[in-house]
């Protein structure tokens, strides 16, 4: 058997790898399947065909895997789609490692297609699309090389370069066309890309914001760099990092371990007003991403109005009403992976009004203490305050004390009986919830009203907006100041308020997210409105920058870029027209030219001498003139070719085959004649010598 | 002269057209022996409806060929010997005064024949040459504000001696362009010459030439030839060839648009030799040198036999370089 081209096998295996990647990005595949496939891929790329000698054994292994997957499926431990995808990955791995023959090729590509389809069923984000494109490109290259390789006779080099160059440009053209399709028909791609899910790396449940605040637990928190929220602010603060509090809700009741609210749901509206507006509101357009995983609306402190929400559900987008809950929490009434909404917030120094949005029960709770509060808490607070009675000054004093004497740690302490006492008197270390709870309760022991607020802190600037990560989840204290309302005081040391993830990971993720945001904005969410805006921005004269001096009357002519666009469009249309006309003009001749190519191949194989640039017509004329025995067979064939090519009389069904057969017979006869002649000549010479 | 029986039916076919051409060639072959290729070219030129320029040494049978053509086609024939003192009126004709009726009437000159042999064309001054060439181009003659149509089919066979001979006026390029095909017969092969000597002696071969076709048949043959299919790919090939001559470094001037059209017409007539009703690149290449060699102008404008050979050589080289459509 001919040894297959190494490059083609590598391309084939990489294509299968991309197809597997299309599924793997969903994050739903079991880890062992991932491991097996990756191992197989590495071995295959190293040209180690492990399974080649043990085909039966590996098939048995596949059967066992199928049974195991089936068991998991029936026991409900695994979803049917995930099981099917995992099995496709296993088959692909087995095929990649077996002897590379035609059957294995086909099966590898088939499993690749299956895996791509599986990926579509599991997720549908940018990484999936990239994997899909990679699979398409690599598999096409591998298949085309396979076709060429099969056509090249044994022992001759495969013209890799000659094949790859036109093919690559063709594929680039196809990919560009696909992208153009996405841009031109924005709404269609909803169905094609699939439901919106977690950006990259698959759906992950929330690691940041949670619906309850419960002190205690084990493990590490706050290392998650996933983006949960993206916001565009008006007016734009234009700062690289925002040191702002994004508030989700507040808590007023603490039972010693967990914070809750006394009051439940209140009202459901399209838009909820929490506080009376002032004339300088900060507008936010916020997108909550799937990594957020909760239904609470987030807004900059202090929110005034929230609503106009749109839920991005797997079946499309729809607007959702919002519900006001206790603790100033506003929730979506529809569950969806992601949401978009608008929020208006008061500027940080505005007076929020003491009674704003609070019912009597909530106001009473601001001084409530848990039943079994450690008796040392009150005296500790009194000792720190040393008679300070003014609420804000007292709160700041206590916060400074906590920041100075207590350490910040991400390690959870386990489940102590009284987490607050454990933090204040035993461990003297904790995270933001400990600091905030301690400050709130210490204030309450001194008769100062306070509550716990949770949400996020910070915000990194990306693409003109701000990103908030899961690791930015934070808790802090609201102190009730007479005449001013609630004022934020944060007991957590300032350097520990934002995300605590690894810097490198965060940077990598920031890069990925920037690309992903571009993808989402310019491809997935690209709408007719964007098209219209793009078109009008090309035609409309540039807007005068604000504050620019009034100059002469603006020109009514379109701007230069409109002309440039028109020129480019005209050029593209012209080229396309030329291409199409040439293509249509050439099409009828193709059949005859293919016929000629086959005749040429036959003649070449028979080593019929041929001058450079000599056409079949010339060759036949020359052979006829020289009285060559082949002329007899070639003349009718040439005449038929000429008729088909230039006389407009296409070859009939089967006619070409008949002509080929005749020619082949003539060539064989000629070869036989030649083989006999030298032998006949050799005889007498040998005898003579 | 009696009209021969028509071979070409009311609906001509490539095969019948070819039969007419073969018969014509056979008759011409009787007059000019040992030159089958050249004779076929002459027939191709006549079927394509073009004028023929024979350029050669004196005494190789140019005049005989032309006369044989007139006989074989049963065309009215005149021969004009061009000399240095020949005037336009000598070939076109003149207004003659009739004393009885006191009027002028037009007396047609020798040009008013279906086949005109312009012998030694380059011996006449340019003015007389152009009088002939206007008739060739327009198919009519303008004289004293009146136009007189020439008979149809109207064909000129001009002969010229190589231009380095003394006492000649070389034909301007624009006039050379009017001839569809230029041929040179060359000396016959020694054996043919010997046979001529033994069989015929000094006797003219012309009486043995029979009329095998007539003006009407010739006209319909021409019409049929001009309707043959010329595929777009072949047309593009002709145009590419023309462009190659225009861009060639050794050529002062390449093929004109008239040259392109002429090659198309000649290739169509050539296709009939194979009994085809469409043109192939092979037809184009066969007629390329006869059609174009006299139309291109060499940069090193050395006139004469060597220049003629060199032009033919250059055109052939171009034909080799420009790839034919496949």
Q: What's the confidence (pLDDT) of residue B242?
A: 93
Q: What's the confidence (pLDDT) of residue A500?
A: 58
Residues in A touching B324 (Cβ below 8 Å) = 613, 615, 617
Is A603 strand, coil or helix?
helix
Q: What's the confidence (pLDDT) of residue A38?
A: 92
Residues linked to residue B115 through DSSP beta bridges, in sequence order: B77, B155
Q: At residue A360, does pLDDT exceed 90?
A: no
Instruction: For residue range A137-169, list pLDDT tens digits in order.
Output: 888 888 888 877 777 776 677 778 877 888 888
Task: State the pLDDT confidence band at A207, using cuts at 50, 70 and 90.
Answer: very low
Residue A451 near residue A352, CB atoms below 8 Å = no
Q: Provide the CB-side half-sphere exposure for B181 (13 A, CA).
A: 29
Least confident of A4-8, A107-111, A507-511, A578-582: A507-511
User: How would you classify the pairing of strands A267-269 and A258-260?
Assistant: unpaired
Contact between B278 and A643 using a beta-carbon 8 Å cutoff: yes
Contact between A621 and B233 using a beta-carbon 8 Å cutoff: no
Contact between A618 and B282 using a beta-carbon 8 Å cutoff: yes
Contact between B231 and A646 using a beta-carbon 8 Å cutoff: yes
Residue A630 near residue A623, CB atoms below 8 Å = yes
CA distance A457 to A471: 9
Instruction: For residue range A563-596, list pLDDT tens digits in order.
Output: 888 899 999 999 998 888 776 655 555 678 888 8
Q: Provide the CB-side half-sphere exposure for B54 (13 A, CA).
A: 26
A617 touches chain B (CB under 8 A): yes
Instruction: For residue range A97-118, list pLDDT tens digits in order.
Output: 888 887 788 888 888 888 887 7
Q: What's the confidence (pLDDT) of residue B5?
A: 64
Q: Count of CB atoms within 10 A of residue A632's CB?
A: 13
CA distance A491 to A512: 33
Mean pLDDT taken over chain B: 85
CA distance A105 to A86: 20
Average pLDDT for B92-97? 84
Closest listed residue to residue B283, CA positions, set B221, B325, B220: B325
Residue in A closest to B326 by C-alpha:
A593
Residue A423 near residue A434, CB atoms below 8 Å = yes
Q: At residue B122, does pLDDT exceed 90?
A: no
CA distance B274 to chain A (A): 10
Residue labelled with tokens 């009674």: A355
Residue A216 near residue A414, CB atoms below 8 Å = yes
Least confident of A222-226, A538-542, B101-105: A222-226
CA distance B26 to B13: 20
Q: At residue A383, does pLDDT exceed 50?
A: yes
Task: State the pLDDT confidence band at B270, using cuts at 50, 70 and 90.
Answer: very high
Q: Which positions ≥6 away from B268 have C-beta within 8 Å?
A: B48, B225, B226, B228, B230, B279, B283
Q: What's the confidence (pLDDT) of residue A220?
A: 45
Contact between A646 and B326 using a beta-carbon 8 Å cutoff: no
CA distance A357 to B317: 98
Contact between A642 and B233 using a beta-carbon 8 Å cutoff: no
CA distance A457 to A277: 23
Closest listed residue to residue A305, CA positions, set A260, A230, A250, A357: A357
CA distance A143 to chain B (A): 29
Residue labelled with tokens 């010739």: B218
Q: At residue A546, does pLDDT exceed 60?
A: no
Mean pLDDT taken over chain A: 78
Least confident of A530-539, A595-604, B207-216: A530-539
> Where does A528-630 have alpha helices with state H?
528-539, 560-605, 616-626
Least confident of A188-202, A342-356, A437-451, B92-106: A188-202
Task: State the pLDDT confidence band at B303, using cuts at 50, 70 and 90.
Answer: low
Q: What's the confidence (pLDDT) of residue B260?
A: 94
Contact between A615 and B277 using a beta-carbon 8 Å cutoff: no
Chain B residues with at least one Cβ partner in A under 8 Å: 229, 231-234, 276-282, 285, 320-321, 323-326
Omega of the bond leading into B153 within 30 degrees of 0 (cis)? yes
Looking at per-residue pLDDT, the higher value among A44 and B199 belongs to: A44
CA distance A686 to A362: 122
Q: Phi-psi category of A648—alpha, beta or left, where left has phi over 0 and alpha has psi -120 to 50?
A: left
Q: At residue A16, does pLDDT exceed 60?
A: yes
Closest listed residue to residue B77, CA positions, set B216, B215, B183, B178: B215
Average pLDDT for B192-206? 75
pTM of the model: 0.47
What is the predicted ipTM?
0.84
Residue in B closest to A647 by C-alpha:
B278
Instruction: For residue range A481-491, list pLDDT tens digits in order.
Output: 887 888 888 88
CA distance A92 to A98: 10
The encoded tokens of residue B8 equal 């070409």
CA distance B55 to B62: 8
Least confident of A371-380, A417-426, B8-17: B8-17
Q: At residue A681, does pLDDT exceed 70?
A: no
CA distance A649 to chain B (A): 10
Contact between A645 and B229 using a beta-carbon 8 Å cutoff: no
Q: What's the confidence (pLDDT) of residue B201?
A: 60
CA distance A469 to A602: 68
Average pLDDT for B48-54? 91
Closest listed residue to residue B37, CA positions, set B224, B184, B156, B228: B184
Closest listed residue to residue B55, CA positions, set B285, B311, B257, B320: B311
* CB-nearest partner of A613 from B229, B279, B323: B323
CA distances from A171 to A137, A151, A165, B295 (A): 7, 22, 10, 48
Looking at per-residue pLDDT, the higher value among B203 and A2 belongs to: B203
Least confident of A299-308, A497-506, B258-267, B292-301: A497-506
Average pLDDT for A118-143? 76
Residues in A touching B321 (Cβ below 8 Å) = 613
CA distance B285 to chain A (A): 10
Instruction: For residue range A297-338, list pLDDT tens digits in order.
Output: 899 888 888 888 888 776 667 888 998 888 788 888 888 878
A596 touches chain B (CB under 8 A): yes
Q: At residue A617, does pLDDT exceed 70?
A: yes
Q: At residue B266, does pLDDT exceed 90?
A: yes
CA distance A666 to chain B (A): 23
* CB-nearest partner of B282 from A585, A613, A621: A621
Looking at per-residue pLDDT, the higher value among A626 and A548 belongs to: A626
Closest listed residue to residue A479, CA positions, set A408, A389, A418: A389
Per-residue burial over A360-395, b if 16 or more Cβ lie within 10 Å, else e, is: eebeebbbeebeebbeebbebbeebbeebeebbebb
CA distance B244 to chain A (A): 16
Contact between B281 and A615 using a beta-carbon 8 Å cutoff: yes
Q: Which positions ≥6 away from A456 have C-beta within 8 Å?
A: A208, A209, A228, A229, A245, A246, A248, A298, A468, A472, A473, A474
Residues in A touching B36 (Cβ below 8 Å) = none
Residues linked to residue A259 through DSSP beta bridges, in sequence order: A213, A254
Residue A429 near residue A409, CB atoms below 8 Å = yes
CA distance B323 to chain A (A): 6
CA distance B229 to chain A (A): 7
Is A481 strand, coil or helix?
strand
pLDDT above 90 covers what percent of chain A? 6
Per-residue burial over B105-123, b if 16 or more Cβ lie within 10 Å, else e, is: ebeebbbbbbbbbbbbbbb
* CB-nearest partner of B229 from A617, A618, A648: A648
CA distance A179 to A186: 10
Closest listed residue to residue A116, CA positions, set A25, A40, A181: A25
CA distance A33 to A539: 53
CA distance A378 to A389: 14
CA distance A61 to A32: 14
Residue A521 near residue A432, CB atoms below 8 Å = no
Instruction: For residue range A276-304, list pLDDT tens digits in order.
Output: 777 788 899 998 887 777 888 899 888 88
Q: At residue A39, does pLDDT exceed 90?
A: yes
Q: What's the confidence (pLDDT) of residue A148?
A: 79
Residue in B closest to A586 by C-alpha:
B233
Residue A208 near residue A456, CB atoms below 8 Å = yes
CA distances from A246 to A330, A455, A521, B309 (A): 13, 5, 24, 94
Average pLDDT for A449-455? 89
Least confident of A554-558, A564-568, B267-271: A554-558
Task: State the pLDDT confidence band at B18, using cuts at 50, 70 and 90.
Answer: very high
Q: At residue B70, does pLDDT exceed 60?
A: yes
Closest listed residue to residue A232, CA positions, set A342, A347, A345: A342
CA distances from A207 to A220, A320, A469 (A): 11, 25, 10
CA distances from A485 to A167, A370, B246 (A): 69, 24, 93
Q: What's the confidence (pLDDT) of residue B90?
A: 87
CA distance B246 to B241: 9
Omega of the bond leading into A302 within 30 degrees of 0 (cis)? yes
A593 touches chain B (CB under 8 A): yes
Instruction: For residue range B176-187, list pLDDT tens digits in order.
Output: 888 999 988 888
DSSP A122-178: H--SHHHHHHHHHHHHHHHHHHHHHHHHHHSPTTSPP-HHHHHHHHHHHHHHHHHHH
CA distance A202 to A337: 12
The encoded tokens of residue B166 equal 């003394």
A585 touches chain B (CB under 8 A): yes
Radius of gyration of chain B from its Cα atoms, rounded to whole angstroms: 20
Looking at per-residue pLDDT, the higher value among A206 and A12 belongs to: A12
A387 touches chain B (CB under 8 A): no
CA distance A362 to A585: 82
* CB-nearest partner of A647 from B229, B232, B281: B229
Q: What is the 3-state secondary structure (H, E, C) of A2-17?
A: CCCCHHHHHHHHHHHH
Task: State the pLDDT confidence band at B304, using cuts at 50, 70 and 90.
Answer: low
Residue labelled with tokens 């009703």: B277
Closest listed residue to residue A630, CA positions, set A648, A649, A610, A646: A610
pLDDT above 70 covers what percent of chain A? 82
CA distance A304 to A287: 18
Which helix (H) or strand (E) element contains residue B316?
helix B305-321
């Amino acid at each position: 058997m001919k040894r297959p081209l190494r490059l083609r096998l590598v391309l084939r295996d990489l294509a299968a790898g991309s197809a597997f990647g299309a599924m793997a990005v969903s994050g739903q595949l079991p880890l062992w399947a991932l491991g097996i496939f990756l191992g197989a891929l590495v071995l295959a790329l190293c040209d180690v065909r492990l399974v080649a000698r043990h085909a039966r054994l590996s098939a048995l292994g596949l059967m066992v895997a199928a049974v195991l997957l089936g068991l998991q499926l029936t026991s409900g431990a695994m979803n049917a789609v995930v099981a099917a995808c995992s099995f496709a990955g296993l088959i692909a791995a087995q095929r990649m490692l077996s002897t590379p023959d035609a059957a294995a090729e086909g099966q590898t590509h088939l499993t690749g297609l299956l895996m791509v389809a599986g990926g579509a069923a599991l997720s549908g984000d940018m990484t999936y699309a990239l994997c899909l494109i990679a699979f398409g490109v690599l598999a096409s290259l591998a298949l085309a090389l396979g076709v060429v390789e099969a056509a090249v006779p044994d022992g001759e080099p495969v013209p890799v370069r000659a094949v790859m160059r036109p093919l690559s440009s063709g594929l680039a053209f196809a990919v560009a066309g696909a992208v153009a399709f996405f841009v031109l028909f924005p709404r269609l791609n909803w169905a094609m890309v699939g439901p919106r899910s977690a950006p990259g790396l698959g759906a992950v449940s929330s690691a940041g914001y949670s619906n309850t605040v419960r002190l205690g637990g084990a493990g590490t928190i706050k290392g998650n760099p996933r983006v949960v929220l993206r916001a565009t602010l008006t007016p734009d603060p234009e700062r690289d990092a925002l040191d702002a509090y994004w508030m989700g809700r507040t808590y007023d009741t603490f039972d010693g371990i967990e914070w809750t609210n006394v009051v439940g749901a209140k009202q459901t509206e399209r838009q909820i007003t929490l506080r009376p507006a002032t004339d300088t509101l900060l507008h936010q357009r916020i997108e909550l991403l799937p990594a957020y995983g909760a239904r609470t609306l987030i807004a900059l402190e202090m929110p005034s109005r929230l609503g106009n929400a749109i839920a991005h559900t797997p079946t499309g987008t729809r607007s959702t009403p919002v519900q006001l809950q206790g603790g100033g929490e506003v929730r979506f009434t529809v569950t969806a992976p992601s949401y978009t909404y608008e929020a208006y917030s008061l500027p940080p120094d505005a007076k929020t009004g003491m009674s704003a949005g609070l019912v009597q029960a909530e106001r009473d709770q601001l001084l409530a203490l848990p039943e079994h509060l450690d008796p040392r808490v009150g005296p500790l607070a009194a000792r720190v305050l040393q008679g300070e009675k003014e609420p804000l000054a007292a709160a700041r004093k206590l916060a400074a004390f906590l920041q100075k004497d207590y350490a910040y740690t991400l390690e959870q302490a386990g489940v102590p009986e009284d987490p607050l006492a454990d933090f204040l008197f035993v461990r003297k270390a904790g995270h933001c919830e400990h600091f905030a709870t301690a400050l709130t309760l210490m204030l309450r022991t001194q008769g100062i009203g306070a509550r716990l607020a949770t949400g996020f802190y910070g915000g990194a600037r990306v693409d003109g907006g701000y990103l908030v990560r899961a690791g930015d989840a934070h808790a802090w204290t609201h102190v009730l100041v007479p005449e001013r309302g609630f004022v934020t005081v944060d007991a957590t040391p300032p350097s520990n308020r934002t995300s605590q993830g690894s810097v490198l990971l965060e940077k990598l993720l920031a890069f990925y997210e920037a690309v992903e945001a571009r993808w989402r904005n310019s491809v997935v969410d690209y709408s007719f409105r964007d098209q219209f805006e793009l078109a009008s921005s090309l035609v409309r004269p540039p807007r005068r920058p604000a504050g620019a001096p009034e100059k002469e009357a603006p020109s009514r002519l379109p701007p230069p870029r409109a002309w440039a666009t028109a020129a480019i469009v005209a050029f593209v249309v012209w080229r396309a027209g030329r291409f199409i006309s040439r293509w249509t003009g050439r099409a009828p001749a193709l059949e005859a030219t293919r016929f000629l190519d086959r005749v040429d191949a036959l003649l070449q194989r028979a080593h019929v001498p041929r001058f450079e640039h000599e056409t079949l017509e010339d060759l036949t004329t020359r052979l006829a003139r020289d009285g060559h025995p082949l002329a007899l067979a070639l003349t009718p064939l040439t005449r038929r070719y000429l008729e088909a090519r230039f006389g407009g009389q296409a070859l009939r069904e089967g006619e070409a085959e008949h002509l080929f057969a005749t020619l082949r017979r003539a060539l064989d006869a000629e070869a036989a004649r030649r083989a006999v002649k030298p032998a006949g000549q050799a005889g007498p010479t040998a005898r003579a010598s | 002269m009696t009209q021969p029986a028509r071979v070409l039916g009311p609906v001509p076919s490539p095969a019948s057209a070819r039969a007419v051409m073969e018969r014509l060639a056979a008759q011409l072959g009787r007059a000019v022996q040992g030159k089958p290729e050249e004779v076929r070219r002459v027939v191709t030129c006549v079927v394509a409806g073009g004028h023929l320029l024979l350029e050669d040494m004196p005494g190789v049978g140019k005049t005989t060929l032309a006369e044989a053509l007139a006989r074989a086609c049963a065309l009215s024939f005149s021969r004009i010997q061009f000399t240095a003192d020949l005037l336009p009126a000598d070939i076109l004709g003149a207004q003659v005064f009739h004393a009885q009726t006191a009027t002028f009437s037009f007396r047609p000159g020798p040009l008013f024949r279906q086949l005109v042999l312009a012998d030694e064309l380059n011996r006449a001054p340019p003015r007389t040459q152009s009088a002939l060439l206007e008739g060739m181009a327009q198919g009519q003659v303008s004289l004293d504000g009146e136009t007189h149509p020439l008979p149809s089919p109207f064909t000129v066979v001009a002969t010229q001696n190589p231009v380095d001979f003394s006492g000649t006026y070389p034909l301007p390029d624009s006039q050379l362009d009017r001839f569809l095909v230029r041929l040179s017969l060359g000396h016959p092969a020694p054996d043919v010459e010997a046979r001529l000597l033994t069989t015929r002696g000094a006797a003219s071969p012309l009486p043995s030439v029979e009329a095998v076709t007539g003006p009407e048949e010739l006209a319909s043959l021409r019409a049929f030839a001009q309707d043959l299919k010329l595929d777009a790919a072949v047309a593009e090939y002709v145009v590419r060839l023309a462009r190659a001559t225009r861009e060639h470094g050794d050529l002062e001037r390449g093929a004109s648009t008239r040259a392109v059209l002429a090659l198309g017409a000649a290739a169509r007539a050539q296709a009939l030799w194979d009994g085809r009703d469409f043109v192939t690149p092979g037809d184009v290449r066969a007629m390329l040198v006869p059609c174009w060699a006299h139309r291109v102008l060499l940069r090193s404008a050395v006139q004469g036999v060597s220049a003629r050979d060199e032009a033919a050589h250059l055109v052939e080289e171009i034909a080799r370089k420009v790839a034919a459509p496949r």
